[in-house]
Amino acid sequence: MTFTLDAEVAAVLQAALEENGPPPAWPAGDVQARRVALDAMLDYFNNQAQPPAQDVEITDHQVTAADGATLLARWYRLPSSDVGAAVLYLHGGGMILGSVPIFDGPVSRYVARTGVPMLSVQYRLAPEHPHPVPVEDAYAGLAWLAGHAAELGIDPGRIAVMGDSAGGGLAAGVAIVSRDRQGPAIAGQLLLYPMLDDRTTAPDPFIAPFAGWSYGDNATGWDALLGAGHENRDVDPAAAPARLKDARSLPPAYIEVGQLDVFRDEALRYALTLSQAGVPVELHMHPGVPHEYDAIAFDADVSLRAQADRSRVLRSL
């Protein structure tokens, strides 16, 4: 059995390889090297290859976390839009990197396409801030958004959570936390190639050659968040939603993943876990694409289809 890359995605990756050479392979556990290189790469694809939407108004707020820390919360809106719904957006980065500004481009473009305003929260990163800090920070953002609904002009019953990669895992975790605490109602969860299972560290030989986020990267992220040996311990589902046993009463989910993504199997299994508990699920697995394919090859047909689906779901909130 062999896999092949989507032709349009492959062409972009080949051009990058010819211009920049092969990407470095950092040893597992080297957080700082990944931060330096991957933050720069994400900023290029998110904000330079595609500029942020110019017609979106951005306002910075402060959210107080459970331990009293102050977090940046960036509010994106179209001044002309009055849709009522809103989204808490949680950025990617493997739990160890990324930031709100690095994801200005994608978030602003979602808002520009759909008119749905979004709040992006600067949750604190592992290993300096292990679980439960990141998900608690994300939950603080949800509570702030719901608590300020009137002044923001949104309906507190129409708030969704959304994230990509690690942010997708955090969005799923926030949905679990809010359900269990009887916190703010969540109208939907949009999980884009989500990082859900701390046990995904053994390479799949068919996926490994294509993995933009590698199995070594994944082990580094999960070890930073949960500490060594987490695979053999009980883990809070708010940290690793794939550990969830009871998915009843969680919000409807839109889940999307590439067939050549390290997170493929856990995304498919989570969709099944939700479905078996009676949660409405829309699931897309795109053939021939790796992690973050839509940022890498944003003009590819597969990326345009994915963006159209995401926009449709956001407009339906």
Catalytic residues: 165, 261, 291
Name residue, tokens 């199997």.
Answer: 265
The tokens describing 188, both together, are 């939907």
Task: Give the H or E element holding residue 89.
Answer: strand 86-90
Distance in angstroms (rounded) separating the CA atoms of residues 185 and 146: 8
Residue 155: count other Cβ atoms within 10 Å of its Cβ: 14
> Cα 51 to the chain's mean position, in Å?
20
How buried is 29 (Cβ within 10 angstroms: 0-12 exposed, 13-18 middle, 19+ buried)?
middle
CA atoms within 13 A on the CB side of 16: 15
Distance in angstroms (rounded) separating the CA atoms of residues 158 and 115: 14
